[in-house]
Chains A and B, each alone.
Chain A
Amino acid sequence: MRLALLALAAACGAVAADGDELAARVLARLAEVPVVRAEFVQERFVASMPAPVLSRGRMTMSRHEGLIWRIVEPVKLTLAFTPADIIETGADGVRRAGAARRGRAQAEMGRLIRSLTAADAAELRADFELRAEGSLERWKLHLLPRRREMARFLAAVELAGGRYLETIEIHTTSGERTVMRMSKFVAATALEPAERDELTPP
């Protein structure tokens, strides 16, 4: 009996370790590529809307320097998430810094988007309980917020992909859902000078 229990405990431990190990390997593999460029389609499901709001564009993600999220449709808007700030560029081409200073929640969301797209293992583990499923080639990561403050507005996040991070699905506590799908990945070792300029405060 005791032996059976021990075996069971060991088995559970092994499963947990497997899940955790997969998450670690997925994140480590994603981190191998310093710069990724891709196209994206975003769907936003809003309670008071019968249909989701679609937007599309291109993104450039640098693990260390930040994320450029360039929305082309239905409105031209570029958001550059740097470790310190969020820089907005509207259709008029005017760059506005300081968005991250407009409140903690905004700054937290900016940090979250950056750490999600960069699959920053340290930040994600600090903020979320991670659970992985699938294989290294086709995986899914379930993220549950650890901290009370984040759990107030964020219900869960799901990441999925293979070699690259392909889908980000964010569920908020207000019942809204945002799904971002990335495709046509191009890996690179460094940012283009123009991209670097976008991540430099005006």
Chain B
Amino acid sequence: MSLRLRALLFLAVVAAAAAALGVHIARGVPLQTNLLAMLPGIERDPLAEEVLTRLSAAVASRALFIVSHPDEDKARAGAERLAAELRAAGGWRSLVARLPAFDLAAPVALYGERRFGLLAEADRDALTAGSFDLRPALLRQLVSPMGHVSPLPLARDPFGFFGRWLASLEPAASSMRLEDGYLTAREGGRTRILVLGEVEGDVYDNAVQTRIVAGFARALAAVLSEGGPQTEVWRTGNVFFAAGARAAATGDMDRIAAGSVIGIAALMLLAFRSLRPLLLGLTSAGIGILFATLAVLALDGEVHLVTLAFGASLIGEAIDYSILLFAAHLAAGARWSPQQGVAAVRPGLTVAVATSLLAYSLLALVPFPGVSQVALFALVGLVAAFFTVLWLLPAFLARPSTRDPEAATRWAARFFELWSRTLRGRRALLLCAVLVAACIPGWLALRPNDDVRLLVPRDPQLLAQDEAIRKLTGFDAGGRFFLVRGADEEEVLARESALARRLRALERDGALAAHQAVSTYVPPRAAQRGDRLLARQRVFADREALQRALTGVGYRAEAAKQYIAEFERATRPVTVRDWLASPLSTPLRHLWAPVGEARLCSVVTLYGERDAARVAAAAQGLPGILLVDKAASVSQLLGRYRGWALPALLAAGCAMLIVLALRYGPREAPRVMLPVVLAEALSAAVFGYSGEPVTLFAVGGWTLALGIGVNYAIFLREGIVERAGATTMAVLLSGSTTLLSFGLLSVSSVAALRQFGFALATAIAAAVLLAPLALKPR
């Protein structure tokens, strides 16, 4: 096949791919900004995973605002204005500045008839202890200056049992108080009002985020201009964090892409003094990215933000292959023919691509959706760039270079002379020994970090507001919860209340602020029967005595009779169905049967965990209860993979060694590997010295560096038409372009990318500098 025909065919394929990508883009590329979506489903328990997904969606859509002002009326007006403006901007399922008046009839409607089976813990203890005397108990209710605070009249709750049970349902008081329906806190001479919001749709959806963030900006401006400079507005919610992360990552992407393109362009122009290599090089990188994006869209259906940021840096590696071709073109001078040129670079290029692909395939095996997508992107992108160099670029390099090859590469030849002399023979051995010795303290200082929060870039200002709001509202749900399973409603409730008893003990000790569980509102049937029995034995056993006690403290005889008759009539317990039907359950319905009645389970949520270890231990020995902790599970997983990384790196090294042995023989292959192995060791030492923790992402960077770093040794070893200057130029140039693009990742605001970039940049720089170690001794 002629050069031209092959190029045309290749162009046709590229055009088809571009058209396909165009169709995808026209439909809208689904960009995934939920950084946690990079993570695999981690719970070993499939039910836990499903419940987690449901709950996260419910929790993620929440947003909270605090509007504050020294003046109460202005704070309230500000809160109302904020809610109104946000509502007008749209995108919200609900926004509440002022809560509707609590319906006092609701608790009576749900529990009134069934109240005799419901006892507060202290009352149950008192009745069980047997020290319960009717008359003093009745009198205590009547003489307290606090009066009778209960939705039932005194005559229907003369001992106050029901009032105390209802009070025990209230969650531990946060520092906020309902004032005229506004959730209010007063501190530091300011009145702070809480506004509750719930976002409509997926908070990780681009359109949803854009709308909410823009709407908030306008609403904030309106509130500030009305309330004056004294007004303060805080916000928190996943939608704001996700939008911030997206902005940071897309900003990174733009910066990295622009930085690497400009840097690479400058280097290429400087080295080749011609626009053609630059344009062709960018074309090969562009084609690589085109196919890579298409492959990811076709296989995964969505592009992850991290992939995009990483993809921008792939330009640097993809362009390496074309650089080799341009160096050959320059070195051949007037003797250039495209066929010969391709033939000269093909062996080295093939070995280089093969080793890179090995490293990336290894990365693709990591079962993290985000990481394997990055690997897929790189694999496809590099293969496409490789074929572009072999099939398309030669057609555009038909004419020989007009520059004198000797003169054009003289600087590189001189550098090579110096460089290789330093790194050959006994000096090389000495250098290696010194390097390894210098690395040792650095390695010893290495420390791992598997904290999942590294994944999510967080705006410090937003984080501070989030913290302040959590502290004020007590809405500091840490994302952990207990999953309670049972054969039927009764078993679930019974198991829950056994857990709740332990949690209440922790709450008294201050290890936990509060918890929410359905069994608080619907005690197990057995417990209700037990309480009713207790009331029958201690209070209603002797009707006459009770009647006398009631009339004795002043109740009319008929009121006393009615009370006793009501006890006799009320035998039915409260059930979950009753509770679900009551408006009282509205804010808590997600706790019961989150994945449907067929797989019955319930959720116990935790607030304000001060002692995570003790809370986690609360479920010990209780059947059917599981602590679900996504963050810890993910961190464990990150740690596990990080632990596997060293053996994996060794395996990759061995695989590469085999590829190299096929080309250079078993005796010489280790020499070609030496520079990159030393470079990895150096990079690890740099991490140790700089105090940067080692994460799975750093290890990922080293895996890639292994595949890329060996290329420089290969290129140098292969040489191009015996002109050492041209080879050196190619190695230095391709090393610099890779460093430029990956190095820029190390200034990313996404910690994961930063780690990745830092590992790559240090290892690649060392691999380039040590590359002559791969040369045969003279």
Which A residues contact B (CB, under 8 angstroms)? 42, 44, 46-51, 53, 55, 69, 71, 74-75, 77, 79, 86, 90-92, 96, 101-107, 109-110, 113, 146-149, 152-153, 170, 172, 174, 176, 178, 180
Contact = CB atoms under 8 A, between A and B. Distances in A.
B611 interface: no
List of 5 A-B pairs having minimum Cβ-Cβ separation, nearest first: A103-B167, A48-B155, A55-B143, A48-B559, A75-B139
B715 to A, nearest CB: 74
15 contacts: A44-B142, A44-B147, A47-B154, A48-B154, A50-B554, A53-B139, A53-B143, A53-B553, A55-B142, A69-B145, A79-B146, A92-B131, A102-B120, A110-B146, A146-B180
B460 interface: no
A50 B104 CA distance: 27
Interface in B167-193: 167-168, 170, 172-173, 177-181
Contacts of B122: 96
Interface string B139-165: 110111111110001110000000110
Interface in B501-536: none
B39 interface: no
A170 B181 CA distance: 23
A101 B145 contact: no
B141 to A, nearest CB: 10
Contacts of A102: 120, 164, 167-168
A106 to B, nearest CB: 6
A25 B139 CA distance: 38
Nearest to B154: A46
By secondary structure, the A interface counts as: mixed
Interface of B: 101-102, 104, 120, 122, 131, 135-136, 139-140, 142-149, 153-155, 163-164, 166-168, 170, 172-173, 177-181, 553-556, 559
Given A48-B154, A50-B554, A75 B140 contact: yes
A109 B140 contact: no
Highest count of chain A CB atoms <10 Å: which of B102, B122, B144, B180: B144
B180 A75 contact: no
A69 B179 CA distance: 28
A90 to B, nearest CB: 8
A174 B120 contact: no
B149 A106 contact: yes
Given A47-B155, A77-B140, A147-B179, 8 more contacts: A46-B155, A48-B153, A74-B139, A75-B139, A103-B168, A170-B147, A174-B153, A176-B148
A105 B155 CA distance: 19
B146 A106 contact: yes
A103 B170 contact: yes
A106 B102 CA distance: 16
Nearest to A178: B147
Contacts of B139: 53, 55, 74-75, 77
A113 B164 CA distance: 19
Contacts of B140: 75, 77, 90
B556 A79 contact: no
